[in-house]
Amino acid sequence: MAASKRKMPKSGRNDTFRSLPVKRSKISEGKATKPSPGSTKEVSNATPSKLLDVHVCGYGDRDELDPRQSVRVTQAHLNKILDTETDGVVDIASGGMHVAALTRGNRILTWGFNASCARGRNPARKQGHKAKGAGDSYADNPCGYESAAITGYQFPPETKIVSLSAADNATWALTEDGLVYGWGSYVMWDGKPGFYFNSMNEHVAGDSNPILIPGLKNIIQICAGANFCLALDNNGKVYSWGRGDQSQLGRRLVVSRADSTRHSTMSIETLRTNMCFVPGIVPLPKAKKIVSIHAGSDHAFAIDSEGNTWAWGLNNFGQTGITAGVGIEGQGGTVAFPKKVPSLTGKNMKMLVGGSCHSVGITHSGECLVWGRLDGRWCGFHGSPTDDPKKVFHDGKKCILLEPTPLFHSGCTDASAGAYHNLLVRDNSKVYSWGLNSSRQCSQSPNEYIRVPTLIGSESIRGKKISRIGVGAQHSIIALAREDVEIDEAPAKTLRIKVESSD
């Protein structure tokens, strides 16, 4: 007899996570502000409806895994501080060394490294729980050791979050009505932090409070790279902002005469640098409506309604799929503006992800394709899959897989790529990993590298339905759908982020 499903209310208490004390204060420039009452609501993004059990593996010296468990997790196991009964995670996003989760009660929980405000709170060190096996170095860890919720007063009343995305040191939240909030910082090309440029001519290096990202409305998808972010609106327009020195933004930063006059105290170069923090439209063909966006570490993709794939950004190993000049010194290092990827024409791509020097794509038919740096073990082949010089570039220094090449011909449903390792879901219930494994982020035997896709044999996830996967610098996350629990949808329309206050 099949086990009966248990119905659970949408909201619930949270005893596991420590909420921060709340003080009422004036909302300063750049802080979250409520849109004008007269604004027209044009989109209504769907809220995730499946509860997730979050499993983790890898190295968690910055509390990326489970702050109350061992620092090193060699086999994927359940994160026990995320309890379905009290928290009810419905979405999760993994950054470089931090993680953010959205709960059924419309709370955002964050944990991990917080030096750049990626967790949405002040990075000043707080006393908390020290993980087992942690050494004295934890005394300098600004994580706070405890996971905590971003408190309600940091968002306008009636804000409802539907999805999250995370970069190396920043986090973004998409709302039901198509607005985007963000917090944290980027690491710019000069090593300095940066996040936004406000109307007071001030460059703000980072923010521990969620801010409303200006110029974005009716957004239906957000996707973060290492130090930049993309947004897609309901008309198929793509916006980009963040670090752009490797053409990650896919657009030209033009300083107009009006901008120069308005910010007369800044040099043109400084002003151009600051302008990258303001979302701008990526110049994709107007005749092509974009239906999804995807980001690698420093490159990006967009898929249009006809199934074509467009790419831009860093291309030193052919990771965009644009092969012209790749491997030749002084050529092909970046793709400045969106270009159609010829080798993906007719492939009908469903999704794409990318690391520092490779990319992974899945077609609607379930085929998994890889391309990019071949000698770094990121592409999942033991050696070269072909000797064809048109498909592989090799000059004794670099070995690049130019042609998107199948790893699996069918059954693939999801993929996630970190800088140097990957996860792949097949048949909705099998997770494969390959790439760098020095921190056991592949959840495999203690080899420094896993050369080919290898099934993760952890008993805790074996045969279970996989709903989400994510990777960071030295950790991986596998989220299972809770089939035995149904969320009561009745109160869904009235659930909002609770506005907390204290005297």
In whole numbers, what is the pLDDT of the chain averaged over residues? 81
Rounded to 10 degrees, the C-alpha dihedral 117/120/122/126 comes to: -100
The more confident residue out of 136 and 476 is 476
Which tokens belong to 258?
A: 């009006």
Measured in degrees and rounded to the nearest 5, phi and psi for residue 488 equal -70, 115
- pLDDT, residue 334, reads 95
- pLDDT, residue 203, reads 63
- pLDDT, residue 329, reads 74
Is pLDDT above 80 for 340?
Answer: yes
Is pLDDT above 80 for 159?
Answer: yes
- pLDDT, residue 152, reads 53
| 173-179: average pLDDT | 97
- pLDDT, residue 488, reads 55
Is pLDDT above 80 for 171?
Answer: yes
Interval 253-291: pLDDT, tens: 877 777 667 666 777 777 777 788 889 999 999 988 999
- pLDDT, residue 65, reads 78
- Report domain extents, the chain: 1-17+42-226+460-503
Residue 221: pLDDT band (50, 70, 90) is very high
- pLDDT, residue 498, reads 34
Interval 40-90: pLDDT, tens: 558 999 999 889 999 999 987 777 876 666 677 888 888 877 776 677 899
C-alpha distance from residue 349 to each of 5, 86, 89, 294, 313 (Å): 35, 38, 29, 11, 19
As a whole number of angstroms, the distance between CA 45 and CA 163 comes to: 9
SS in 3 state form for 339-354? Answer: EECHHHCCCCEEEEEE
